[in-house]
């Protein structure tokens, strides 16, 4: 079974989150977690210090098992 990495961006100031968006599929939960942490760091840097501090943005991620469609 594959593991889907999804990212969620939230703002503590505004009290809400964007809808989760899928990033990638992985062969193990471990691989998904490593990718999630790396993607969260990259996204935090991409958004930038000023915007992160101004809007108190939090980058979250989830790893969930997905059934493979063998049609």
**Residue 67: predicted pLDDT:** 85
Tell me, yes or no, whether 14 lies in a domain.
no
pTM: 0.84
Tell me, yes or no, whether 71 lies in a domain.
no
* CB 4, CB 58: distance < 8 Å: no
Tell me, yes or no, whether 49 lies in a domain.
yes
Q: Which residues have a Cβ under 8 Å from the Cβ of 1 and sit 6 or more positions away?
A: 65, 66, 67, 68
The tally of domains found in the chain comes to 1
Tell me, yes or no, whether 11 lies in a domain.
no
Residue 62 sits at the vertex; the CA angle it makes with 55 and 35, to the nearest 5 degrees, is 95
Tell me, yes or no, whether 51 lies in a domain.
yes
The Cα 11–Cα 23 span in angstroms is 20
Tell me, yes or no, whether 52 lies in a domain.
yes
Chain segment 20-62, per-residue pLDDT in tens: 999 999 999 999 999 999 999 999 999 999 999 999 999 999 9
**Can you give the residue range of the structural domain that contains 55?**
2-6+21-66
């Amino acid at each position: 079974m594959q593991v889907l990495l999804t990212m969620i961006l939230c703002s503590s100031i505004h009290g809400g989150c964007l809808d989760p968006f899928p990033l990638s599929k992985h062969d193990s939960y471990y691989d998904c977690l490593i990718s999630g942490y790396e993607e969260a760091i990259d996204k935090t840097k991409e958004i930038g210090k000023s915007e992160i501090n101004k809007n108190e943005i939090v980058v979250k991620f989830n790893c969930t098992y997905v059934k493979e469609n063998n049609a």
